[in-house]
Amino acid sequence: MMKTRVFLSSWILVIFLQSLRVTFSTLFGVIYDQIFEGPMSAWLLVSNVLVVLALLAPGLLARKVSKSRLTLFAITALLARMSLSIDDANIRYWGALIVLATAGSYFALMLRVDRKHLASALIWGILWEYLLRVLGDTFDVSLFDGSLPYTILGGLAIIGFALWIDHQKEQMNEAAPGINWAQALGLGAFLFLQTSLLALPSAVARYSTITYMPIALLLYLASAAVLIPEVRRVLDPLFALQRARWALMLLVGLGFTSGYFLEGWLAAGGLILAQGIVVAGVVFAIIEPEAGKKDSHWRLPIGFLWMLVLNFLGAFAFTYSYTLPVMREMGWVVYLIAILVFAWCVIAPLTREAQARSKGSSLDRILVLITAIMIVIAVWPGTTEPLPKGSLRLATWNIHYGYDDDWHTNLQEMAGVIAAEGVDVIALQEVDTGRMTSYSSDNAYFLARRLGMQVVYLPAVEHLTGIALLYKGPQAASDVTFLTSLQEQTGVVHAALDWGVSGLDAYGIWMGLSDEDTQRQMDEALAFIGSAATASLGGDFNARPEDPEIAAVRASGFADPYDLLGITDPPMTSPAIDPQERIDFVWLRGLIPQRVWVSTSLASDHRMVVVEVNQP
């Protein structure tokens, strides 16, 4: 039966994982503001150094083993976790630092006194956090604005549980050596793989182009498999054989390679298989085996730092155009390095004879089943809003990865604004679908689920960031294309909608920044669009009305609805607060505008443009 310590430890690991996502998401805001808006200050360096110190803290805090110290770390982490449900980047940043330091120290002590139960707790921590993200349509439901009262109640309940455990006559095991250097680096690689790809159903879905629903269930089952007693009985003798571990790690590499470079079920199956093996590997080769005789308090913190390094390298693969150009299309290399380090740890000779191991339980089996049913219910397809037969409202919005200008997480508010404006088709730019720097949420999936809309998504950079087109009605024929991009990769999305007599070809675009070859991009986009008679083109053009790129749009037969309606002083669209320029447009061809406006919402760093149209 699941031990009380397993339950407590699993939730401490949940908040550790949540704090990792919060840390990288808030740091992204700091780095973005310092680099793009300026001026750069010492806070850019200090904020990153503080994260390093928080991850190193277990080397100092977890030196002495005692039950009361475990309880203190658990309570401190749970109290600090409450701040993460406050939608303020500064509050979340400082709260996450405290959680990383104290939950990391709890983790370090558990590695030394109760590794048997820690193995189960680690897997359940991954599964609980997975469930919270699925219940929130890929955004952790416990981080929503308004979730604070429930977080406080839940946190206090778990704190009471921790105090109850502390008062039980529970004999602490004699402190074991902890983990060796290979295991520490392997654990860091494991945490990177979990938080950036393998435990993210939205990421696996985007990599493979398979719909989210089956991926969410299958990936969960692969993650949970090692908890099932029958599965453990099969895996235990396999991981005892070094040749078998070689073969399993080879399968992980092949699974990732197919997932990264291929599409369809071959890609999805490869990533799901890799996740199942990796989770089993961390249990059988890192958490449960003995580490040797010598102890070092700094091994686990160095493993955490290795995870941090991998995450920064992965971030460079997304931001290559502004940081390290050599990292363009090199995200697979970062993942491969992590897999190789993890495999090196798993393949190394194991010392397991003296270490007690969990065998799974009937309760584990029941909980896995219940949670799987909850996931199926959460991801079951919702009702799709019908496309109106009369007038349509077309829109464009640069959603800034789900943030406003002050880095509040605003996907819920964005969905409310789009619904309140009655939008039927909307082009979205700066759309993340699983990046660590935007809470690992899938912006397109989240908004589509909340609005009852369909999605066409172009994964322009590393499968997980790009542009999207959302539309009401049944699924329509669609296609995408990439545009030649000297810096950040971009493209065009298209859906052929069944509307009116001749239908509507709806297009969305995001144009490169000023030092891109934007004229060539515009020419390629217009060639892709061709001579569609009834069409709309919405996007963030990063160009003003007088620029040559906009002249090319006009020359291709598209019209500005403001011109068609005789409005001579159109409102500005960027930035959202005190906008100074008009760079967001919805262009029309073969359509009659009834009215056009710019939303007053400040939910993003741009304002949304909406135009209501009829067919001739």
Q: What is the mean pLDDT of each run of 10 residues along the chain (616 residues)?
A: 80 98 96 85 95 97 88 97 97 98 95 85 97 98 94 96 83 67 94 97 97 98 95 91 95 97 97 98 85 72 97 92 88 97 90 53 90 97 93 98 96 98 98 96 98 97 97 97 93 96 95 83 96 95 95 97 96 97 98 98 97 92
Domain with residue 438: its CATH number is 3.60.10.10
Count of Cβ atoms closer than 10 Å to residue 3 Cβ: 17
Integer Cα distance of 145 and 416 in angstroms:
13
- Using DSSP, how many helices (H) and how many strands (E) does the chain show? 21, 11
**Domain identity same for 159 and 223:** no
Are residues 418 and 363 located together in one domain of the fold? no
Burial annotation 565-591 (CB, 10 A radius, 16+ → b, else e): eeeeebeebbbbeebeebbbbbbbbbb
**Cβ-proximal residues to 449 (8 Å cutoff; 6+ apart), any chain:** 137, 382
The residue with tokens 């008062």 is: 167
- Based on the domain organization, do 490 and 471 belong to the same domain? yes
Residues 445 and 541 in one domain: yes
**Is residue 435 within 8 Å of residue 195, measured between CB atoms?**
no
Res 574: pLDDT: 97
Last residue of a domain, one of 380, 410, 436: 380
Are 351 and 290 in contact, with CB atoms under 8 Å apart? Answer: yes
In a domain, 22, yes or no: yes
Task: Tell me which residue of 295, 576, 257 sits closest to 430, measured CA to CA.
Answer: 576
Burial class of residue 237 (count of CB atoms within 10 Å of its CB; 0-12, 13-18, 19+): exposed
Last residue of a domain, which of 356, 380, 404? 380
For 536, residues 6+ apart whose C-beta sits below 8 A from its C-beta are 394, 425, 504, 505, 506, 507, 586, 587, 588, 589, 591, 613
Contacts for 608 with CB less than 8 Å, ≥ 6 apart: 395, 396, 397, 417, 418, 421, 426, 584, 598, 599, 601
Q: Residue 2 belongs to a domain with what CATH number? A: 1.20.1250
Pairing of strands 425-432, 392-398: parallel
Whether the bond into 201 is cis, omega within 30 of 0: no
Residues 366 and 425 in one domain: no
**What DSSP element (H or E) covers 45?**
helix 43-56
602 domain-assigned: yes
Return the number of other C-beta atoms located less than 10 Å from residue 314's C-beta: 25
Determine the residue type at 132: L
Q: Which domain holds residue 275?
A: 177-380
User: Does an H or E element contain 508, and which?
Assistant: strand 504-510
Residue 417 CB contacts under 8 Å (≥ 6 apart), including other chains:
599, 601, 603, 608
Taking the CA of residue 376 as centre, how many other CA atoms within 13 Å lie in the half-sphere pointing to its CB? 8
Both structure tokens of 290? 């003995």
CA 513/CA 511 separation, integer angstroms? 7
The full length of the chain comes to: 616
Burial label, 65 (beta-carbon count in 10 A; 0-12, 13-18, 19+): middle
Query: Per the domain annotation, does 386 fall within a domain?
Result: no
Q: Give me the residues paired with residue 535 across strands.
A: 505, 589
Residues 356 and 471 in one domain: no
In a domain, 600, yes or no: yes
Tokens of 148: 């604070």
User: Three-state DSSP class for 427?
Assistant: strand
* 65 and 156, same domain (yes or no): yes
Identify whether 278 is part of a domain: yes
Q: Cα Rg for the chain, rounded, in angstroms?
A: 25
Nearest to 187 by CA among 16, 333, 27: 16
Tell me, letter by letter, the H, E, C secondary structure of 260-313: HHCCHHHHHHHHHHHHHHHHHHHHHHHHCCECCCCCCCCHHHHHHHHHHHHHHH
Do residues 609 and 541 lie in contact, with contact meaning Cβ atoms separated by under 8 Å?
no
Q: In this structure, are residues 374 and 220 in contact, taking their beta carbons and an 8 Å threshold?
A: no
Dihedral of alpha carbons 229, 234, 235, 239, sign? positive
Quick check: is 387 in a domain?
A: no
What order do you get walking across the sheet with 454-461 strand by strand? 454-461, 465-471, 425-432, 392-398, 609-614, 592-598
Q: Do 323 and 415 reside in the same domain of the chain?
A: no
pLDDT for the residue 350: 67
Q: Are 363 and 451 found together in one domain?
A: no
Residue 385 included in any domain: no
Q: What are phi and psi of 442, to 5 degrees?
A: -100, 100
- Among residues 141, 176, 211, the one where a domain terminates is 176
User: Looking at residue 177, what DSSP letter applies?
Assistant: -
564 in a structural domain: yes
3-state secondary structure of 534: coil
Is 292 exposed, middle or buried (CB count within 10 Å of its CB: 0-12, 13-18, 19+)?
middle
Stated as kind and residue range, the H or E segment containing 478 is strand 477-483
**Distance from first CA to last CA of the chain, Å, rounded?**
69
Distance of CA 340 to the CA centre of its chain: 23
Do 509 and 541 contact (CB within 8 A), yes or no? yes
Same structural domain, 509 and 609: yes
Q: Are residues 396 and 526 in the same domain?
A: yes
The whole-angstrom separation of Cα 331 and Cα 322 is 15
Q: Check: pTM over 0.85? Answer yes or no.
A: yes
162 shares a domain with 239: no
Q: How far is CA 83 from CA 289, 379, 404, in A?
A: 36, 28, 19
CA distance 317 to 331: 5
- Structural domain count of the chain: 3
